[in-house]
Structure 1
Amino acid sequence: MKKNILFILLLGIVSACSSPQAEKVDYTVLTDEERLEIAKEIAQNTIIVDGHMDLPFRMYNMGHHMRGEVFDFMSRSDQGNIDYVRAKEGGVDAPFMAIYIPASYQETGGAKGLADTLIMMVERMINTWPDKLAFARSPEEIESNFKKGLLSLPMGIENAAAIEDDLSNVAYFYNKGIRYMTLTHGKDNLVGDSSYDDAETHGGLSEFGKDVVKEMNRLGMIVDVSHVTDKTFFDVAEVSKAPVVATHSSVRAFTPGFERNVSDEIIQKIAEKNGMVMITFGGSFLDQAYSDANSAIREHVQEWLKENNLSYRDEKAQEYIRAYSADKKPTVHVSKVVDHIDHVVKLVGIDHVGLGSDFDGVGDTLPEGLKDASMYPNIIAELLKRGYSKEDVEKICYKNFFRVWKDVEAVAGK
């Protein structure tokens, strides 16, 4: 009987694709198992774009490039949050590879060199497995790759420190395939102020930063407002002629005082500019109680490391941290991600929200049911459970992002 129900529902899904009137399926009346089956089907047949994954920096830290080796992306791994097998299982088709520049490079120099290295590592993966992976520099390229069954690896720079103090580097990176740039990271930089830094060096966007935003508009590079202060954001909103995106930020209403998440006022301004917020998955972004517990653990661990003269990386420290923190954090569930999506939808509508996991960037803080790239169907199932339609799901998975990206390209075309 169950198979029959599924068959009828899947027929409903297929026919809904061809005729807008045909979608009469009420997913809310199904069992969780039935919904998950349909969610898996949708995930496989719908393009899923993820705004931000830190795989390149994880690869860099493993040092393969130093030995001239290519990182083994093809085998299932129990390390990190993504590999080819888990990506395919979860139906993710275009995870943006973050070319991440730690703020320390702003002091030491070498930011552009690191960006070049990380880009080269992504290129090397794609060139090693051209039958599985592909470059993606536009929505059309992602669609074409999807039809061929290829996993697209579009790229975005995280931390405009990568351009150093030279405006012409924006075009340099655009020509290397970079399609968005996160303006700051953990500290204020030459472009603007970071939400993690209290210095307020520029009181928002610097003069150089304004030129950078204009140059990004001119080229068709998306301006990413994750990690900036509120003042910086509103400066960007004023300067940018194109829509802006928060590629990996969640909703501040759930984490009051956490400037790294976006406020309702910011969400409204992003929507007004026809942009979007891509909800990120880390527990501390999603849930205040989790964030508080995490901070308390971190403080205790730092003290303990000092007393025992150890560093985070020491095996003894790792064991202690695991044991100490095992039962001290509340459980955060995948449904919490959908709470954040709901909030944006109720505030500004379905057209301004997407997914930006921050996989490989948030350690072991991911929610139950969302530990790696194989688990996107759990988000889709939760959306269906709450009455979102298949069309809504497609908007969240890729259509909103494609609209924004095309808008950014259109502004550049002018």
Structure 2
Amino acid sequence: MDHFLYRDGILHAEDVPLTEVAAAVGTPFYCYSTATLTRHFRLFDEALAGTDHLVCYAMKANSNQAVLTLMARLGAGADVVSGGEYARALAAGFPGDKIVFSGVGKTRAEMRAALTGGIRQFNLESEPEMEALNEVALSLGTVAPVTVRVNPDVDARTHEKIATGKSENKFGIPISRAREVYARAAALPGLRVVGIDVHIGSQLTDLEPYGQAFDKVAELTRALRADGHDIRRLDLGGGLGIPYERSNTAPPLPVEYGALVKEKLGHLSCEIEIEPGRLIAGNAGLLVAQVIYVKSGEGRDFVILDAAMNDLVRPAMYGAWHDIVPVVEPAPGVAPRPYDVVGPVCESGDTFAKQRNLPPIAAGDLVAFRSAGAYGAVMASEYNSRPLIPEVLVKDGNFGLVRQRPSYEDLIARDTIPEWL
């Protein structure tokens, strides 16, 4: 469910007509709903009710400072994967003891910053990283709380570029070596083992792979405890999918996911950490663009938008689907027709959809890409010297500009020319 509905023939974000936002900030822009973000966080929190748990918002999905501030005020933790995300989390009000640091390539500088500023745990991904963190912790006279990310070799049945739990993926250590690696971690004086970390992929639409992974985590928990390790936390990652294509079968609900967690792991008396990002932010955001031209080609018509692959890269990168809808509701009974929906960037890959059935479209019309709140603005670039587009947060009948569109002068001013030129 989201809070983007037609009202009096105009698509609204909560109580705000998107035509009003477009007039104020220009197109293209991202628009996020406070009510949807709040509801989706609470669905996860309520799904784990009755267990000791922490829902850590995966910042990589959407790291706008306003979105992060909302999550922190709702009581979420934060899952970060870089020094920049860690700094954003602190600035948004997340306390250090609610920040989990994930990622395969943490640098010593990032480790030092987190140990100094406060951290709940590091999710370690390799033995070299373990040795590095031990050295940094000892140099600061402290001990780093850690889990080790184990790779359970489970097929998440998702896109190959967002699968993370198979043996050929770069993430974690093979579960077959977990006892050996945990023994090494326990022997390092700068580390304190607190739990196990597992994450098998993103955009999962079936609970069965989770069940397989959780069974392996339960078995490993018992084995590590038998080895003398104090396993008190299970970080289960995120990855629950969202319905990008509304006509498809809906993915499992958070309450169903929560029930599976309790069934498979509830008997272990561990604190459960989960790291949802896409399911919290994805359907909470739209990308709104304007039609520049409608062009007739050889056997097909093209809708050319002022948004491009640099603004929303998922279709070009993954072949991802986003529902595209007109901001002004079409009249009842209007027959759709197929269009190729493209952007103005000088790449054939700058294509959002091919032969997509849409109501008749004309230059100047506004269209909205649904489910664009996650992995949209955060993956944007300034390719073709196109400025990053604005982000807007809506609450009830109000909206605020939470990231401004840079001017061309801003873009140029970031570059410097050496004296010898």
TM-score tier (shorter): 0.3 to 0.5
More helix by share: 1
More strand by share: 2
Larger C-alpha radius of gyration, 1 or 2?
Answer: 2
TM-score by length of 2: 0.35
